[in-house]
């Protein structure tokens, strides 16, 4: 077989489509392999560059290829899409991956270790359970409202609503039994979230950087450990780059030398962006003249802009501060002590 310069792989659950090119970037290999034969093929192949689209399963295969002596690159799918030619099938997708990898300035994603993926899974599982718990609570409130029982939002109000449903003589027995099942599911989700919070808190206490990030106003243990586990500061040239990765910068549509900025892009890690915006909203809730965390910049912003917009702007600034702290290993310095926020990079 001709020596390969690059092997692009379009992965799936069972079948892997291979697209190999030679030193002149000419296609010399096109084939499909199932999981076990694919790993055997990598073991026989001379060391070369193996390129995959970045996804959950790609990190496993990247680690396997690295262990077999290959060089591995993971390319974000959104960067591969522009190279897909007319139509769509696995061979076209594999060719697009190879074409994207040939570009000198193409960005790539670092290969995660098994431990990093496990810790990330802990965060994703917690986020999923919180979402499901919210859905259950919303369903409970909605069904109870059909029978005239209304409760305010918030998990703290669920127990009172369930008690009202159980004791109201106007609610049919079938409805009481059904809503009681929803209450059981909410309680079970609550217990699982509390267990995951305990694990994350233990990780937070054991990680010096996470304890450092907890000092940022609006950042608690969950936000701090989430940032620590999900962000590699070396990937970003500045704090602004991290804020852009988190989708906290305006979407740009500029042409002809005229800059047009829109709403935030909402790109990147949705979970981290949500945590930062929620933390910023908590700071804004208590921002008033004379308050400890109410900086002149924040008070001036709140005087000019709506609170939601100010929360996003503060979350952007928090991301930049976090990057500086992670890069330099420094503790948070309040603006009052320095005259300006640290890490305005």
Q: What is the mean pLDDT of residues 3-27?
A: 92
Global confidence as pTM: 0.81
The C-alpha atoms of residue 41 and residue 23 are separated, in whole angstroms, by: 20
What's the mean pLDDT when you consider all of the chain? 90
The answer to whether domain 6-101 has CATH 3.30.420.10 is yes
Does pLDDT of 182 surpass 70? yes
C-alpha torsion angle, residues 236, 240, 246, 247 (rounded to 10): -140
Determine the pLDDT at residue 336. Answer: 54
For residues 268 and 344, the model is more confident at 268
Q: With cut-offs at 50, 70 and 90, classify the pLDDT of residue 281.
A: very high
Q: What is the mean pLDDT of residues 71-85?
A: 94
Whose CA is closest to 8, among 56, 68, 48, 67?
48
What's the Cα-to-Cα distance from 213 to each of 133, 223, 227, 331, rounded to whole Å?
A: 28, 8, 8, 8
Q: With cut-offs at 50, 70 and 90, classify the pLDDT of residue 255.
A: confident
């Amino acid at each position: 077989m001709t020596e390969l310069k690059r092997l692009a792989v379009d992965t799936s659950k069972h079948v892997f489509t291979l697209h190999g090119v030679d030193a002149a970037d000419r296609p010399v290999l096109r084939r499909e392999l199932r999981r076990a034969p694919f790993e055997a093929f990598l073991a026989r192949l001379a060391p070369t560059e193996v390129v995959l689209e970045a996804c959950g399963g790609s990190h496993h295969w990247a680690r396997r290829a690295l262990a077999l002596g290959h060089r591995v690159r993971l390319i974000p799918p959104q960067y591969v899409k522009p190279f897909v030619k007319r139509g769509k099938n696995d061979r076209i997708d594999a060719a697009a991956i190879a074409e994207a990898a040939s570009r000198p300035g193409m960005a790539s994603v670092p290969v995660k270790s098994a431990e990093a993926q496990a810790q990330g899974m802990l965060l994703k599982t917690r986020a999923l359970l919180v979402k499901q718990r919210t859905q259950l609570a919303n369903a409970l409130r909605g069904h109870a409202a059909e029978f005239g029982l209304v409760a305010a939002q918030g998990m703290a109000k669920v127990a009172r609503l369930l008690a009202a449903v159980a004791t109201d003589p106007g609610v049919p027995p079938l409805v009481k039994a059904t809503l009681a099942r929803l209450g059981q599911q909410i309680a079970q989700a609550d217990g699982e979230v509390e267990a995951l919070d305990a694990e994350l808190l233990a990780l937070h206490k054991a990680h010096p950087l996470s304890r450092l990030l907890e000092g940022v106003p609006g950042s608690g243990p969950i936000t701090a450990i989430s940032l620590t586990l999900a962000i590699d500061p070396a990937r970003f040239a500045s704090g602004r780059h991290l804020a852009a990765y988190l989708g906290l910068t305006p979407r740009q549509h500029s042409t002809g030398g005229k800059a047009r900025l829109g709403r935030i892009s909402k790109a990147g890690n949705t979970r981290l962006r949500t945590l930062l915006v929620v933390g910023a909203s908590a700071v804004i809730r208590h921002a008033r003249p004379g308050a400890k965390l109410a900086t002149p910049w924040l008070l001036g912003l709140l005087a000019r802009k709506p609170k939601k917009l100010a929360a996003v702007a503060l979350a952007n600034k928090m991301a930049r501060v976090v990057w500086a702290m992670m890069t330099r290993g420094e503790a948070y310095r309040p603006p009052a002590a320095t005259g300006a926020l640290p890490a305005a990079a």
